[in-house]
Structure 1
């Protein structure tokens, strides 16, 4: 599978939100919230943007404290992490004010422990440096942050990541797959994935294994009939394309694809 970045509709909504935050009227309202179900590409898309924008990308930990966060940020920025929390905050603030580098916090739910003490520190840094801060979290994070009025008032934009559309999956298959997928099979990739881009990538990889076994340059529905392309962990059953009779070609590939999972 090719290594390329696919610009999905979630990416378009995210970048529009970033632009709105950067053009905000109130300087202190520089926070943006990205939320959605697992597998919709939140971390992947925001990480790609962070690299392009020169942003600092941190993943929150369950045991983060305000000082722990400051130390992690200092290490990422290659700043001396020693001293008191106040001394460290001062060094970080000076650096962020000078560079104006945006800050991304993934798994931001972990910043809400102990009455959102860590997120309050992040808000303080954002307020004083007037930099953009992107928080990434799961579906319920918005209502959890809403309980903290001082923080909630700083969020200028909220972007909800939604399931990938058929158009998104079509672009992903065209850009990433090293073999051609027929339109019917692309539609099945979309259906089987449930719109989760993480699952789309796994299914493409499974299809490519079938293509390699059978030396195919184009893969259609019949070629993967009966082949487990995905797995339903709740029902404990494999997911396959919605076709009838399994072909001999797909039968030969089934064992190898299953073994390569």
Structure 2
């Protein structure tokens, strides 16, 4: 499978949110929340943006404390992590202000333990440095942060990731697959993945593997009918290709692209 970044509708929503944060009126309200169900591509999309812009990407841990966050940030931006929390905060603030470094915190639920003291420290740094901070979390994180008014009031934009559309999945198939997929098979990739882009990528890889085993350069639904392309761990059953499930309208949409 090709190594390439696919710009989906979630990517468009995210970049629109970033643009709005960067154009905010209140300098201290520089935080953005990205949330949604697992597998929708939150970390992948925000990580790609961070790599392009030079933002610092950190993944929170279950045992994060304010000092733990400061040390992890210091390691990431090559600042001396020694000394007291107050001394370290001062060095980090100076460096972040000087470089105007945006900061991303993935798995931000872990910053909410112990009355959100770790997130309070992140908010303090965001306030004083006036840089963009992106928090990435699961479905309920917006309600959880809502309990802390001082933090919630600093969030300038909220972007909820949605399941990938058929157009998104078809676009991914076209860009990433090293075998050509018929529109009906792209629709099956969408159905089997349920719009979860992480699973869609695994299904595309499975299609490629089966195509190679059968010596196929172009693959249609009939070539893979009954083939298991993924596994449903809840029902403990394979997810198999079916002919005629997608329907003509969905197939036409896949063929039409964006």
TM (norm. structure 2) is 0.94
Deviations 1:64-97 (A, max 9, x none): 0000110000000111000000000000000001
List aligned pairs for 1:237-252, cutoff 5 A. 237-243=237-243
List aligned pairs for 1:37-48, cutoff 5 A. 37-48=37-48
List structure 1 segments (4+ residues) > 2 angstroms apart after TM superposition: none
Deviations 1:96-151 (A, max 9, x none): 01000100000000000010000000000000000000000000000000000000
Match of 1:189 in 2: 189
Match of 1:151 in 2: 151
Deviations 1:47-68 (A, max 9, x none): 0000111100000000000001
Post-superposition shift, 1:243?
A: 2.8
Match of 1:165 in 2: 165
Post-superposition shift, 1:223?
A: 1.1
Post-superposition shift, 1:227?
A: 1.1
Q: Which whole-Å CA distance do the structure 1 matches of 2:40 and 2:243 have between them?
A: 27
TM (norm. structure 1) is 0.93
Q: Which whole-Å CA distance do the structure 2 matches of 1:72 and 1:206 have between them?
A: 37
Match of 1:5 in 2: 5
Post-superposition shift, 1:171?
A: 0.5
Structure 1 vs Structure 2 CA RMSD: 0.7
SS at match of 2:46: helix
Match of 2:55 in 1: 55
The count of residues paired between Structure 1 and Structure 2 equals: 244
Match of 1:202 in 2: 202
Match of 2:97 in 1: 97
Match of 2:67 in 1: 67
